[in-house]
Structure 1
Amino acid sequence: MPFEISECACRDHRVGRLERAEMTAMAASGDFVPASTLSKYAPNMVIEPVHLDMALDFHLEAKTLHAVVEQTFVNPHDANSNPGDPSVLRTLRLDAIGFLDLEVTGAGVTHRYDGQSITLSWSTPFGPNEKRVVRFKYTIEKPISGLYFDVPDEHYKGFPDRMLHVITDHESERARYWLPVVDFPAVRTTLSFEITAPQQFQAVANGALVGETVNAQGLKTTKYKLDTPCPSYLICLAVGDFVSIDDEPVNGMPIKYLAPKGYNPEDLKRALGRTPAMIRWIEKKLDHKFPWPKYFQIFSRAIGGAMENISFVTWLDRYIPDELLHQELVLNADSINIHEMAHTYFGDLIVIRHFEHVWLKESWATYVSTLWFEDNVSEDQYRYDLWANAAGYFAEAASYMRPIVTRKYDSSWRMFDSHTYPGGAYRLHMLRKHVGDDAFFRGVQKYVKAFACKTAETDDFRKCIEAESGINLVPFFDQWLYSKGYPKLKGSLDIKTDQRYVAVTLEQTQVDVAASIPFFNITVDVEITDTDGKTFEAQVVFDNPSQTKAFAVIPIGGAKPKVVRFDPHGRMLFSLDVSPGEDILAATAAEAKDVANRIWAYQELIKAGGLSAMRKVRAGMLKEPFYGVRVQIAAALARAKTAASLELLGELLTAERDPKAYFPMVFRMSIRDDSVRKALRAFVERPNVPYRSRGKALENLGLQRNADDLAYLMSVATDPNQLGMHGHTRGGALRGLGNMRSEVAFDYLMSRTAPGIEPILVRPALYSAIAASAVWQNQQRLRLAIELFEEGLRDSNDELRFACVRGLITLDSKSSASAILGMESTMDERDFTTVKSLVRSLRSSTGFGPGVSADKVKELFTLAETLEGRLKKMEEAERLRELRELTLKEQKEKEAKEKEDKDKATEAKL
């Protein structure tokens, strides 16, 4: 499953509904989990479920399932008849939450059910290789997770209208909310489905279609069968009123894309049309035929991101693009598509034994998308993807660090973070560079063949790469997988042109014995190109833990160094703090062959911040050929937050014409500044700007709080023709109104809260806008907002409920803590764990809170803004001083040059 993090962090693909708030809470603690956290282990595999036979009768309007599940259990061992604990041969606990009218029958079996799990007890122990069948009959009504009924509501409107359907989404431990299972990846079963629903509905599930029958009452039963052992989190089905479109088969395997009725089938193909080519590519890359009887993909608003269920991938419907939205989502959609497809091998065909090894599936799927870019898009996109993986991991490691492989976690869901996705992906890349391409990919192919239809652990993968390379990889895995942290390098360049060498000094600054952050044995390549175009390279080698500094001397010719590249071949993971001077940085930014060093050079120039440096940034940024580098220039300019940098940021957006760069650029423009406001206003008025980018620009335009923009934002928010696909435009306009802090805007937003006024897909944005605005209102309005959010905690729409939680946290409403915690019975454990952490932070916060007058809040923030304004004026004065000095310097140089030329002319005449 992909892990989507917004463009502010990295390019991965999966975000939980409350993840940003959770990451903020974790950043405050600085720990992944408390030190007292106990290690987690895979379950015993003595009595093992091996087959699920499911007869499922759906009543969609009532959000009800009547189920009869026959489960086959086996003791697959022939030598465990006398274990130390004999109960393991006659008892088994199944995860099962919220089952109604449960009946359990089977030869010699009794059961105990506590609402969370079913404990089975047999009168006699299982013999070696003995099989037994147990039948479970039960009802599920309005499940809180795992099985999602999307039922049209007369009070809600959407675009397209919500179409009746039900769909599953299980990762990491959510099948238990409707199926009796051992809900861990090590337990895998074959599957058969008999899905009954009204005949107008289509039913799809894992595996191959066996057949369909219709009875006299007009009920259709659809049968599917999957012969590949499947863990519970990959079981998937969907039933509803769908549109679909077929794509070209690959090796006779049918390929189909589906979505709730109301979407354009051509848009589905626009999003996923590279699927056949991707299947052919990955089969060749891994030297393994695609193993499924079909490859279907379905979109639904109930899905959180995308999920790699065996033969039946699910997507959030907001990834469906029309032609305009496709312009900005094309690479993102392709990256997710190949990510989920990679799980066919890494996660589906080969299943991790337990969650400490989750990197074997998620790091791999993330890295496969990088490989796709390498082979099918461009060198720049490939190298940019690597850079973004590193940046995303570094961003999270600033909050906490953990080993990539660890048994210490409080919830399996917590392992699905940026350490696992981009952090692990970059480690796979380093492993590839460590052993070489041939040995790496042959080892990977060996791993896929050896562990197909089995479970695997990290050492299983290591041994396969060792077998092909002959290199002992225990040190590599100890350093990069089982230890935490990464090398942080600080250094300098000492240029000795007259002596024809450059001395490079680097120091590892991350070493912290108390925090268990180690010294890393690494080699860093450094390349220098001189003004004659000649290139010289050397290596800085760290091989002695007692010496955190390392040196290299690079011989050069008689010309001056012009361009410097660290790790030019993209082999190593490290952060870098080196500034070789503005001239070299400017040349590197303009001429370095790889995007990572161009980004680094621009970042260092912007960090320098002087007039001369910013002139060099401006001279290069508009000529930069690759959109990703321009995006990171924008990010660095926004971080600098100086008058000069924000002026360049506005200029960069105004000049930008690649839709792939629009959203990440405007995302950074959440800064109140005249240059930013001017660029945003021009951007939102451009024709044919994709909806998501325009929506974010409208949101940030509101942050400018310019009275002239209020009417414009209101005109967009009230225009029925400017909803934008998936509500992106309307949502952005509403958030922009919330950011205006205006009483008029607040009253308008509150007038739109009744169900049925705004489309359901926009209502979460509406509530977020109200929270942003309410902080600045009087006590009466603030109280109305708090009451609205407390009522919204009971709404039927999950996204809106979470928006209400965030709103109450934003407003520091401590009195609402009990109401928030009252949501426990309506949420799965994963989400409620996050809610509890937010409530803890709410109760312990020292924020303003609803008891502090809005006038006092305004006074404090006005003071802060005044100080910021004064700093900007001081900076402008300094900038003018620099300009005068530079002008005087240039004038003196010009006069000196003129005098020199005049003297030479006089000498020539003599």
Structure 2
Amino acid sequence: MLRSILGEELFWFSITKLLKSHKWDSVNTSIFKNTLEACSGLNLTRFFDEFIYSSNYPRIKVHYQYEPTSQLVQITIDQGNYINSNYERVLYSFKIEVRLIDSLDNVHTKILEFESVSRVMAIFHLEPGAIPNYIRIDPEMSLLVGIKLEVPTHILLNMAERAEDIRSRILAYKQLISSGLPNIIEQVRVRIRKEPFYGVRIQVFSFLCKINSYESFELISELLLLEKDNLALSKISKYISNVSCNLITKAIKTRISDPKLPQLALRGLLFSLGCQICLTNKTDLLLNYMHQSKDLLQVGGSHISNGIVREFLIKGLANTKEVDSFDYLVKCLKSNSECYFVIPTLISSITKLAISIGTVAQKSSAIDLIVTISQSEDNRISFACIDSLIKLSAFEKINLIESIKSRRFINEDHIWIDKQIDKFFGFQPQLNDFMEYSSPIDALNKLNIKKVTNVGSITRGPFLPVADSSFNRDFSGLLATVHDLKTKIWELEFKNEQILAINSEREICSQKIEAAPDFNYTTFTTNSASKTDSRLYPGVFRHELSAEPVTINDPDLEDSSSKSRRFYQKDSPSSLQIFQRKSLGQKNTSNSNKQSTKSPQIKIKF
């Protein structure tokens, strides 16, 4: 885009000056911008704000209209949020080139400029006898822009077949295939057979895989058999792994059986074959191909590409969801004959099969095997083991993960492992771990569920699961237990605070007390909205006492055996009553009736 704004000569002059003036130095975007402005004399602030510092880019919609009687073609381009409703509508400032090619091969070009407007228009006058053939939007591909075409089908067909730039061809094919009409798919078939650009063919595969129709599957299988480019075949396999039908499966098996098939294409097709849902006994089929390929796919083969191709065979077996595949992969992992860089994929595939099969036996076997392999000194293998234990919900193996971290990363904090450990606490935290740095009530508070969400097959809150369908566990009863524990611990600590407070007063008073007349008492009340826990207000019970005896107006304390029973006022549970001696003549205040009363005085003897 900058080259189109500045021009080729000025742009490269600015780049050369930037390299010379900052040789052996680091530069940032601001320095780059200032250099371009100094060399060109242009103000590039808006350009950098819109296309460099902003996270969005312009989206345009192209409308086409043709009037045969007047030989006029009108092309209208709108900026708008046609792609995503969440797209922030911003009017970008840029220039865009529009070309119209007629039936006489005349090229009509106009440059439209968006400058604080949402719509621009180009009108072309055709020669007598000429009709529109196809259009090209931004033919030099100099803009970062999303384009959607609203043009007739015959224009799109000509555009897909004759446009010189790849993007115009891809845009035309996308619009044609998205219709899903059988007659249009047939027109696409005729043109894509002769498509010279393999990048266009790859994109056509991706568009066809999104159309769930017999015509699209038939075209996919035909193109798969005709494709000769190795890179295109490897890319195509990524898309056909998401669709399944007998035609595609037959085409994949035919291509894999070709002994001259390049390794780059072979590995992708092996993976796609394992993803074919319509195929049965996929394990036997894949292993049969492995035995036919001799050294290339054998366990521990000496071929230089053995590990690369075999890795995708293992991924294909992981998609079969068959017990035979699981048993074979477990056997391979136990044999210790695999290439070291294949082992992480092998561990992940075993985990995927154990989860997809869903039996307790497979999960337990996978966990035990992964625990054994986790002692490896290779970081990639250790990471694969940790990730698999998380996916298998092996809650009891949290200590193993911690030991791997402490053994291999003693002096550094590895972010990835910490995140995996956090996932463990996200499913089932250990109460003892919380209690190491907090009180029991705080530890239980961390287990409290505030909101239950659905994540896959597990319904859970932020810390504690409610139900886990993969292990047939129900944690709903555990929630009630947690709340009961919280209540009981709170009551015990509440009583403990009472006993500690009165014992503290008794020790102090026993040293200072002397015979004294009766005194009134006063109360101190905390805010009703505040908590009255001495852990939150550590100074509440640490008040100073004078040498005079403390007297309390409470009939329940007449019995010396019950003198510590009513430390908190009975009538006002939210008010913390602290009884201490104040000045003589001070009145007695009650929170329950807000009146001063004079009552008989009872002396507490310690």
Q: Do both proteins adopt the same fold according to a TM-score greater than 0.5, normalized to the shorter chain?
A: yes
Amino acid at match of 2:327: D
Instruction: Write 1 or 2 for the structure with the bigger share of strand.
Output: 1
1:775 partner SS: helix
**Rounded Cα–Cα distance in structure 2 between residues aligned with 1:622 and 1:821:** 57
1:469 Cα offset (Å):
2.4
In the alignment, structure 2 segments of 5+ residues that lack a partner are 298-302, 429-452, 459-466, 474-606
**Rounded Cα–Cα distance in structure 2 between residues aligned with 1:693 and 1:516:** 41
2:125: which partner in 1?
Answer: 555
**Rounded Cα–Cα distance in structure 1 between residues aligned with 2:166 and 2:200:** 6
1:767: which partner in 2?
Answer: 347
Is structure 2 residue 225 aligned with structure 1 residue 630?
no
**Contact 1:483–1:517 under 8 Å retained in 2:** no
Say which of 467, 474, 485 aligns to 2:56: 485
1:530 Cα offset (Å):
1.6
1:467: which partner in 2?
Answer: 38
Is structure 2 residue 53 aligned with structure 1 residue 444?
no
Is structure 2 residue 276 aligned with structure 1 residue 707?
no
Amino acid at match of 2:469: V
1:486 Cα offset (Å):
0.4
Is structure 2 residue 34 aligned with structure 1 residue 454?
no
1:846: which partner in 2?
Answer: 455
**Rounded Cα–Cα distance in structure 1 between residues aligned with 2:422 and 2:196:** 44
**Rounded Cα–Cα distance in structure 2 between residues aligned with 1:716 and 1:838:** 39
1:590 partner SS: helix
2:225 partner SS: helix
Amino acid at match of 1:490: K
1:457 Cα offset (Å):
2.0
1:713 Cα offset (Å):
0.9
1:533 Cα offset (Å):
1.6
Would the alpha carbon gap of residues 810 and 645 (structure 1) be closer, same or farther in structure 2, given more than 3 Å must change? farther
Is structure 2 residue 153 aligned with structure 1 residue 587?
no
**Rounded Cα–Cα distance in structure 2 between residues aligned with 1:493 and 1:655:** 35
2:323: which partner in 1?
Answer: 743
Would the alpha carbon gap of residues 595 and 842 (structure 1) be closer, same or farther in structure 2, given more than 3 Å must change? farther
**Contact 1:635–1:668 under 8 Å retained in 2:** yes
**Contact 1:582–1:605 under 8 Å retained in 2:** yes
1:728: which partner in 2?
Answer: 308
Amino acid at match of 2:250: K
Would the alpha carbon gap of residues 818 and 612 (structure 1) be closer, same or farther in structure 2, given more than 3 Å must change? farther
**Contact 2:18–2:35 under 8 Å retained in 1:** yes
**Rounded Cα–Cα distance in structure 2 between residues aligned with 1:501 and 1:638:** 38
**TM alignment of 1:243-282, pairs within 5 A:** none
Would the alpha carbon gap of residues 853 and 551 (structure 1) be closer, same or farther in structure 2, given more than 3 Å must change? same
2:101: which partner in 1?
Answer: 529
**Rounded Cα–Cα distance in structure 1 between residues aligned with 2:188 and 2:326:** 40
**Contact 1:716–1:722 under 8 Å retained in 2:** no
Would the alpha carbon gap of residues 607 and 758 (structure 1) be closer, same or farther in structure 2, given more than 3 Å must change? same
**Rounded Cα–Cα distance in structure 1 between residues aligned with 2:97 and 2:423:** 44
1:669-721 Cα distance to aligned partner (Å, 9 max, x none): 11222222122111211223232321121111011142354323113445651
1:753 partner SS: helix
Is structure 2 residue 365 aligned with structure 1 residue 795?
no
**Rounded Cα–Cα distance in structure 2 between residues aligned with 1:538 and 1:839:** 60
**Rounded Cα–Cα distance in structure 2 between residues aligned with 1:647 and 1:836:** 47
1:591 Cα offset (Å):
0.3
Would the alpha carbon gap of residues 592 and 769 (structure 1) be closer, same or farther in structure 2, given more than 3 Å must change? same
Q: How many percent of aligned residue pairs carry the same amino acid?
A: 26
2:550: which partner in 1?
Answer: none
1:48-75 Cα distance to aligned partner (Å, 9 max, x none): xxxxxxxxxxxxxxxxxxxxxxxxxxxx
**TM alignment of 1:81-480, pairs within 5 A:** 430-480=1-51
1:127: which partner in 2?
Answer: none
1:793 Cα offset (Å):
4.5
1:472 partner SS: coil
2:507: which partner in 1?
Answer: none
1:853 Cα offset (Å):
5.5
Would the alpha carbon gap of residues 688 and 798 (structure 1) be closer, same or farther in structure 2, given more than 3 Å must change? farther
Say which of 783, 792, 796 aligns to 2:364: 783
**Rounded Cα–Cα distance in structure 2 between residues aligned with 1:593 and 1:648:** 24
1:399-425 Cα distance to aligned partner (Å, 9 max, x none): xxxxxxxxxxxxxxxxxxxxxxxxxxx
Amino acid at match of 1:674: N
**TM alignment of 1:814-829, pairs within 5 A:** 824-825=405-406, 826=408, 829=414
**Contact 1:510–1:519 under 8 Å retained in 2:** no
Given the two structures, how large is their TM-score scaled by the length of structure 2?
A: 0.64
**Rounded Cα–Cα distance in structure 1 between residues aligned with 2:161 and 2:209:** 20
**Rounded Cα–Cα distance in structure 2 between residues aligned with 1:855 and 1:831:** 29
**Contact 1:484–1:517 under 8 Å retained in 2:** no
Would the alpha carbon gap of residues 596 and 691 (structure 1) be closer, same or farther in structure 2, given more than 3 Å must change? same
Would the alpha carbon gap of residues 820 and 588 (structure 1) be closer, same or farther in structure 2, given more than 3 Å must change? farther
**Rounded Cα–Cα distance in structure 1 between residues aligned with 2:356 and 2:146:** 40
Q: Which has the higher contact order (CA 8 A, sep 6+)?
A: 1
2:547: which partner in 1?
Answer: none
**Contact 2:295–2:306 under 8 Å retained in 1:** no
Amino acid at match of 1:710: T
**Rounded Cα–Cα distance in structure 2 between residues aligned with 1:482 and 1:557:** 45
**Rounded Cα–Cα distance in structure 2 between residues aligned with 1:508 and 1:469:** 28
**Contact 1:805–1:820 under 8 Å retained in 2:** yes
**Contact 1:510–1:518 under 8 Å retained in 2:** no
**Rounded Cα–Cα distance in structure 2 between residues aligned with 1:820 and 1:674:** 44
**Contact 2:283–2:324 under 8 Å retained in 1:** no
1:620 Cα offset (Å):
0.8
**Rounded Cα–Cα distance in structure 2 between residues aligned with 1:483 and 1:737:** 44
Would the alpha carbon gap of residues 663 and 562 (structure 1) be closer, same or farther in structure 2, given more than 3 Å must change? same
1:517 Cα offset (Å):
6.6
**Rounded Cα–Cα distance in structure 1 between residues aligned with 2:351 and 2:135:** 48
Count of residues paired in the alignment: 425
**Contact 1:530–1:560 under 8 Å retained in 2:** yes
2:115: which partner in 1?
Answer: 543
Amino acid at match of 2:149: V
**Rounded Cα–Cα distance in structure 2 between residues aligned with 1:513 and 1:676:** 36
2:247: which partner in 1?
Answer: 675
Would the alpha carbon gap of residues 776 and 475 (structure 1) be closer, same or farther in structure 2, given more than 3 Å must change? closer
1:640 partner SS: coil
Is structure 2 residue 87 aligned with structure 1 residue 506?
no
1:569: which partner in 2?
Answer: 140
2:26 partner SS: strand
2:96 partner SS: strand
**Structure with greater Cα Rg:** 2
1:450 Cα offset (Å):
0.6
Would the alpha carbon gap of residues 819 and 590 (structure 1) be closer, same or farther in structure 2, given more than 3 Å must change? farther
**Contact 1:541–1:551 under 8 Å retained in 2:** no
Would the alpha carbon gap of residues 823 and 502 (structure 1) be closer, same or farther in structure 2, given more than 3 Å must change? farther
**Contact 1:703–1:739 under 8 Å retained in 2:** yes
Would the alpha carbon gap of residues 440 and 474 (structure 1) be closer, same or farther in structure 2, given more than 3 Å must change? same
**Contact 1:767–1:803 under 8 Å retained in 2:** yes
**Rounded Cα–Cα distance in structure 2 between residues aligned with 1:847 and 1:513:** 26
**Rounded Cα–Cα distance in structure 1 between residues aligned with 2:86 and 2:173:** 35
2:333: which partner in 1?
Answer: 753
Would the alpha carbon gap of residues 776 and 608 (structure 1) be closer, same or farther in structure 2, given more than 3 Å must change? same
Please tell me the root mean square deviation across aligned C-alpha atoms, in Å: 3.1
1:807: which partner in 2?
Answer: 388
